[in-house]
Structure 1
Amino acid sequence: MRITVTPTLLKGTITPPSSKSQAHRLIIAAALGAGESHIGHITHSQDIDATLRCMAALKEPGEDLPLLDCGESGSTLRFLIPVALALRGGGRFTGRGRLMERPQEPYFALFRERGISYRQAEGMLTVEGRLEPGDYVLPGDVSSQFITGLLYALPLLPGDSRILLTTPLESRGYVDMTLDALEQFGVRADYDGESTFRVPGNQTYQARDLTVEADWSNAAFWYAAISLGCDLEIQGLNAFSTQGDMCIVPYYMKLQGEGPVELDVSQCPDLVPPLAAMAALRRGQVTHIVNAGRLRIKESDRLATVTQVLGALGGQVEEHPDALTITGKDRLPGGVEVSGHNDHRIAMMAAIAAIRCEEPVTIDGAECVQKSYPEFWRDYEALGGRIARG
């Protein structure tokens, strides 16, 4: 689907959709629980539907390895690999887009140590074996999704376990969300704040009735719109959330000031597209976005696609191996068609940047927002955005 955005300022009140990150975690814990849980305020994006679908498949009785279609959701895939081993002795995982190309080596290294078999062929990852209690050694500077997957699975084992980190933990906010979700379902996992998680075994997830918070990751695009001159009020966010992406607030404030700004995104890599849109329109100011190497293995290579899309709009973006340097302008020329690169955050970034373009911007593949924010275009229009679907 192509959407053409005619530049205009947005105005009004907006409530972001529910947190995809928190919803994944609560759904998995609820499905693992004894009894019936009720999880309210779930936005049915493609990623969340993938987790719902996979948990249903894991809970179906059967002797064969379950087939788990993860869509394009990296969270679903990485969270559920250890869970499938703990519950069913393994599983067959499939996906779409770049999902099955995304690296799983931290798990594979653990599996080789423990005699758990795995194979990847023709777009399917098959893992088979049983997790045993013990020590699981992982680097802390890879995706926190590997740690989360183990934190869900290890409490189900018959003995105590530890997760030992060999390097400092990045994206700690996401791990804090996991620990918070476990606690809400009556499961204990202790983190010393540095390198060790202690996870008692023989635990049972308890039934709970909970509500998913609004999403700080998607709220970041509306903060970017405010930065570009829009008169918006963002409602429904929890100021005391464990969502790591609420750091959009101090980063937004930094970008309102004068002079060079350096933003370390090692703890919040998903914020780079909205931060880059803001930075591209800081007239005459230089922004350095650093420690962003993990963006290369997202739905797209986001360091490359942020550079390509903002550059096509007329922005001045310099790509580095794990960083971006952006020199801001007052306005961007626009007047071009750009690809959404099958990446929801790239398409939304283009729509926000179009607010301060001279000429309309066409986004090809705009339906990719279904991955996390299905109502994005409707909300954009409701705020006064001028879009044409073609």
Structure 2
Amino acid sequence: MERSVEPSFLTGEVKAPPSKSMTQRAIAAALLAEGESLIVNPSYCDDSLAAMSIAVSLGSRVEPGPDSMRITGSRELKETKLNCGESGLAVRLFSPVASLFDAEITVTGAGSLKRRPMTMIEEALRQFGVECATTDGLLPLTIRGPLMGGECDIDGSVSSQLLTGLLMSLPVTENDSVVRVRNLRSKPYIDMTLEVLRDFGIEVSNENYELFRIPGRQKYVARTWEVESDWSGGAFLLIAGAINGNIKVTGLRIGSYQSDAAVLNVLQDAGAAMKITGDTVEILKSDLKAFEFDATEAPDLFPPLVALAAYCKGTSTIRGASRLIHKESDRAAALISEFEKMGIRVEAVNDSLAVTGGHVTGARVNSHEDHRIAMAAAVAALGASGTVHIKDSHCVGKSYPLFFDDLRNAGVVIHE
């Protein structure tokens, strides 16, 4: 679907969407718990729907409601084919969970996920004695457990998501486990995982993010658990306000483990006028200046920060661009090509993107079927000199299905 976003001024109050990352972790924990868990404020984006489907296939009963989701944990395998959609977290989180079963399970995906490398899963699970095979390094994966615990060494330079899957699966195995990690990136995401584990009654020892000791034979405790709002989605709303608005974004937990909460530091450095009261951030259209930021630990901030930098005086530098290759698109290349169409110069310099602020023009842009590219283009359109037409804008459903609705409710003119 193509949507056209007119230059618009945002007003009012918008609640940030629920965190899909935390929702998927909570679904996995509830699946592994005995009894009924209530997940409050869940995300029902495409990635979360994939996780819900996987939980059902692995034996749980999932009852979604408008504001909460009931999950009755069980490990009575119902389906031997798990479809992760386009969710990188789902495939890396639920593959270790699937290895708990003494059955051959096939893990598949769709879209860009079928092009993303999966050898890291194969190599890690084999160290535990699990039968695991990719298809020439890609999906589909075949897995046959049971995972019994033990020791393994993994490389965390590409993603922390496989470590999350291991940390969530190994506590229920028969034996104690040790996981050694090299070059771990996105450490805040592991903090999020450890928070969920603690809340569901699981103990893990973390030694400087390099060695994790996981006692076996633990039991997840079913409980009521509230999903916090998503700083990744909230970042787009906050930057929209700084570009051309006067809005309040609610539901954002200050002090969250989410790495994308660092957007507040960037906005402050760029000169954005903000006021924080509790879980609400009020942000106003501001005269913005160039900034520097290392996004190595928060790669999902690249798209909204490029939109912000387009309106900053001078050249902004965002470091950590090597983290963008294995996303829904080659994000660095997509940002360079699509912002060029809007009159903004984005250059790849070593491991950074250099963005020279200027005059944003109307254009026809391609989302590359990447939800964050589509949202970045929409936010950039708000202060542009003309309409920005976004091809395949439906892809925002992957993480933030109500994104365009929320913009429209804040006064943005959008044509479909």
Q: Could you tell me the TM-score, scaled by structure 2's length?
A: 0.88
**Higher relative strand content:** 2
Match of 2:315 in 1: 286
CA change 1:235–1:117 in 2 (3 A) is closer
Report Cα offsets for 1:216-263 as digits up to 9, x if no partner. 110000111122131111111111222221111112212228875321
CA change 1:293–1:89 in 2 (3 A) is farther
Match of 2:99 in 1: 85
Match of 2:29 in 1: 29
Contact 1:342/1:365 (8 A) holds in 2: yes
The unaligned stretches of length 5 or more in structure 1 are: none
Contact 1:227/1:256 (8 A) holds in 2: no
1:65 CA drift (Å): 6.8
- Aligned counterpart for 1:264 among listed residues 294, 301, 304: 294
Task: Report SS of the residue matched to 2:325.
Answer: helix
Match of 2:412 in 1: 385
1:64 CA drift (Å): 8.5
Match of 1:156 in 2: 172
Task: Report SS of the residue matched to 2:257.
Answer: coil
> 1:63 & 1:164 partners in 2: Cα distance?
30
Match of 2:339 in 1: 310
CA change 1:88–1:368 in 2 (3 A) is farther
1:89 CA drift (Å): 4.2
Q: Which moved more, 1:110-119 or 1:151-160?
A: 110-119
> 1:183 & 1:288 partners in 2: Cα distance?
37
Match of 1:249 in 2: 264
1:139 CA drift (Å): 1.9
Q: Which amino acid aligns with 1:143?
A: S
> 2:125 & 2:192 partners in 1: Cα distance?
26
- The question of 1:236 aligning with 2:221 is answered no
- The question of 1:298 aligning with 2:330 is answered no
The unaligned stretches of length 5 or more in structure 2 are: 61-74, 273-287
Q: Between the two structures, name the one with larger relative contact order (CA 8 Å, sep ≥ 6).
A: 1
1:342 CA drift (Å): 0.7
Match of 2:191 in 1: 176
Q: Which amino acid aligns with 1:132?
A: M
Match of 1:136 in 2: 152
- Aligned counterpart for 1:110 among listed residues 105, 111, 124: 124
Match of 2:72 in 1: none
> 1:307 & 1:326 partners in 2: Cα distance?
9
CA change 1:71–1:63 in 2 (3 A) is closer
Q: Which moved more, 1:99-108 or 1:110-119?
A: 110-119
- The question of 1:325 aligning with 2:354 is answered yes
> 1:87 & 1:305 partners in 2: Cα distance?
40
Match of 2:69 in 1: none
Contact 1:68/1:93 (8 A) holds in 2: yes
Matches within 5 A, 1:336-375: 336-375=363-402
Task: Report SS of the residue matched to 1:126.
Answer: strand
> 2:76 & 2:267 partners in 1: Cα distance?
50
- The question of 1:210 aligning with 2:225 is answered yes
> 1:117 & 1:234 partners in 2: Cα distance?
44
Match of 1:120 in 2: 135
> 2:240 & 2:105 partners in 1: Cα distance?
42
- The question of 1:68 aligning with 2:98 is answered no
Contact 2:12/2:248 (8 A) holds in 1: yes
CA change 1:194–1:144 in 2 (3 A) is closer
- The question of 1:59 aligning with 2:43 is answered no
Contact 1:14/1:379 (8 A) holds in 2: yes
CA change 1:115–1:237 in 2 (3 A) is closer
RMSD: 1.9
Task: Report SS of the residue matched to 1:170.
Answer: coil
Q: Which moved more, 1:287-296 or 1:343-352?
A: 287-296
1:300 CA drift (Å): 0.7
Contact 1:94/1:124 (8 A) holds in 2: yes
> 1:48 & 1:37 partners in 2: Cα distance?
16
**Higher relative helix content:** 1
> 1:82 & 1:13 partners in 2: Cα distance?
40
Contact 1:81/1:90 (8 A) holds in 2: no
1:115 CA drift (Å): 5.8
Task: Report SS of the residue matched to 1:266.
Answer: coil
1:381 CA drift (Å): 0.6
CA change 1:270–1:30 in 2 (3 A) is same
Contact 2:290/2:309 (8 A) holds in 1: no
Q: Which amino acid aligns with 2:366?
A: S
> 1:89 & 1:33 partners in 2: Cα distance?
20
Q: Which moved more, 1:1-10 or 1:63-72?
A: 63-72
Q: Which moved more, 1:102-111 or 1:72-81?
A: 102-111
> 2:212 & 2:116 partners in 1: Cα distance?
25
1:63 CA drift (Å): 7.2
Match of 1:165 in 2: 181
Q: Which amino acid aligns with 1:353?
A: A
> 1:166 & 1:217 partners in 2: Cα distance?
26
Contact 2:101/2:144 (8 A) holds in 1: no
